Structure 1
């Protein structure tokens, strides 16, 4: 407040500028206390929770690993013609992919590099391909579509690989080559073979069931090798001592197996 020359009071008026917004946004980061219960700091709050969940999962996973020993198959046997090798279940979809003509042979680079590379890059770039803040799947078609296509493709290829493998096993069991005679069940060697546990694993006609086929054994092994397999076993599927016959019966069985040759 000021005075003029006459001693009277002079009033001062303050005028606001309407061009300055009173509700203009703040120029500093929002404090998380403004949104209680809706958000949290990434470090250390959110990251600590993720670490705790990961630690619980890791402990549970390692407990299962130590409690259940992995199943081991038979020892590698290059003479076992009834064995059908397949990769582990998590690689079955790639194994099946390489069976198709457009992804194998001259085009094997498509099945081994191009298609897996496209799928990997699509999954890696999914967060940048869709920048929406929506959390509902129906509002996020790009990342959800990529994930669904990937999951369906992996599941379908894995199922196809397993299905074809089962068909191959079924066709291999009980299949006798055209140049191999059907086993004569009235022979003494066959009767010894059937009386022991051999027939349960190798089949009525040596075609192989739970064990490898014995068709053409005489082409692949000597009498000494067959005798050694009978006495000492072979791998975990055929332990020693499974043959319960006498030495004379063992000799007859070995001679009979040596006659099983493919012409």
Structure 2
């Protein structure tokens, strides 16, 4: 016991260290008072978490390996009929930005305000719902926000996908179907894309600066196509093709197999 600067205040020291005793020091509860209601964090709890993580990872990898990724068409900047669409988990935002009140001059409303309200409601849920009951019907605020968000996301996702399918179905003839190349696996297609032909006639033979090559086999034989490659025609100068004679023959025979656009087929 000692006195502190003349004040009648009793001070306790621990040994000779002169460290005051803190009588209000918090002491953690002894969980042995609750047998069967708790477990050690390591290794019991962590082992359970790791096992759940392994099961989820194995299931996810099984789904990934069992199904091929739904890849779209090869990127083609000249294809004006392509309809871009985001991944499925962003479809609801994609559809949201189509509304007049969420796009154009009000785009901030659709990109900042509405998502901010959704995430703000999620962030404020612990303060809006402070009840101890865990049953959903006893938690109207949290349950209402969750159901409203779920219904909105599912509805907007379905509407966006349905509208995209309708747009694909309503495309005019001669766009999506005519973009198909006959025998695209033929090595001649690679020869075509690796030469200057693609710059004038397009990736899909649709014609850019030069004429379209779809249905060219109806007008010229492979030998005549080779002659055009060598001597040129119209605005096409002679000697544009830079491959070998064998590649030239392969390309000419492949071009002769290409079908004309569907409209020309129907007129014939």
Aligned to 1:146: 145
Taking only aligned residues, the RMSD between alpha carbons, in angstroms, comes to: 4.0
Counterpart of 2:170 in 1: which secondary structure?
Answer: helix
Q: Structure 1 residues 225, 134: CA separation in 2 closer, same or farther (over 3 Å shift)?
A: same
Aligned to 1:51: 50
Aligned to 1:93: 92
Q: Deviations over 1:78-104 (max 9, x none)?
A: 222322110111110010000001111
Aligned to 2:38: 40
Q: Structure 1 residues 137, 47: CA separation in 2 closer, same or farther (over 3 Å shift)?
A: farther
Q: Deviations over 1:78-132 (max 9, x none)?
A: 2223221101111100100000011111111111112112211222332333222
Task: Point out where structure 1 has 5 or more consecutive residues left out of the alignment.
Answer: 1-26, 177-205, 232-245
Aligned to 1:109: 108
**Does the CA-based 8 Å contact 2:133-2:139 persist in structure 1?**
yes
Q: Structure 1 residues 62, 210: CA separation in 2 closer, same or farther (over 3 Å shift)?
A: farther
Flag the structure with larger Rg: 1
Q: Structure 1 residues 90, 218: CA separation in 2 closer, same or farther (over 3 Å shift)?
A: closer
Matches within 5 A, 1:1-263: 31-37=30-36, 39-41=37-39, 43-44=41-42, 45-172=44-171, 175-176=172-173, 206-209=174-177, 211=179, 220=208, 222-223=210-211, 250-251=255-256
Rounded to whole Å, the distance in 2 between the matches of 1:133 and 1:123 is 18
Q: Structure 1 residues 134, 248: CA separation in 2 closer, same or farther (over 3 Å shift)?
A: closer
TM-score, normalization: structure 1?
A: 0.56
Counterpart of 1:220 in 2: which secondary structure?
Answer: coil
Q: Deviations over 1:143-186 (max 9, x none)?
A: 221111111111010001011111111111xx35xxxxxxxxxx
Q: Deviations over 1:195-222 (max 9, x none)?
A: xxxxxxxxxxx343484699x9765363
Q: Structure 1 residues 50, 140: CA separation in 2 closer, same or farther (over 3 Å shift)?
A: farther
